[in-house]
Amino acid sequence: ETGVTQSPTHLIKTRGQQVTLRCSSQSGHNTVSWYQQALGQGPQFIFQYYREEENGRGNFPPRFSGLQFPNYSSELNVNALELDDSALYLCASSSGTGGFSYNSPLHFGNGTRLTVT
């Protein structure tokens, strides 16, 4: 069973730039979620995708956007990067119907460490 994989592992960007992070879901999982974990904090929910549509979103501005592809892989895009966007970005996958994963808890990848200078 292949777990959740994320790329790249580390990334350095300049304020104002745009970034794309990538995630491959665990085999058999059809739902993907993204979380932001600032240093010393717990993860915060950004959004969730099911059947290529966003079906849940946390308190993040529209410059955080995502995509889910037919093979259930996903991208997180962040525009106009700010210094406070520096964090570990975690992708998690799960399975279920209606996108709300009635049976499956989240399985996380190892994350992408984004540094904005």
Partner 1 sequence: AQSVTQPDIHITVSEGASLELRCNYSYGATPYLFWYVQSPGQGLQLLLKYFSGDTLVQGIKGFEAEFKRSQSSFNLRKPSVHWSDAAEYFCAVGARPGGGADGLTFGKGTHLIIQP
Residues within the interface to partner 1 (CB under 8 A): 4, 31, 33, 35, 40-48, 55-58, 90, 92, 94-96, 100-111
Q: Are 32 and 49 in contact (CB under 8 A)?
A: yes
Q: Which is nearer to partner 1, 14 or 40 (CB)?
A: 40
| Cα–Cα distance for residue pair 34/92, rounded to 1 Å | 6
| Nearest approach, Cβ of residue 16 and partner 1 (Å) | 28
Between 44 and 65, CB nearer to partner 1? 44
Least separation in angstroms between residue 27's CB and partner 1 is: 16
Cβ closest to partner 1, residue 70 vs residue 105: 105
Beta strand spans in 44-86 (E): 44-50, 53-57, 64-68, 74-78
CA distance 26 to 73: 9
Least Å from the CB of residue 113 to partner 1 = 8
CB of 109 to partner 1, least distance (A): 5
Q: What sign has the CA pseudo-torsion 12, 15, 20, 24?
A: positive
- Residue 55 half-sphere exposure, CB side, CA atoms within 13 Å? 14
69 or 100: CB nearest partner 1 = 100
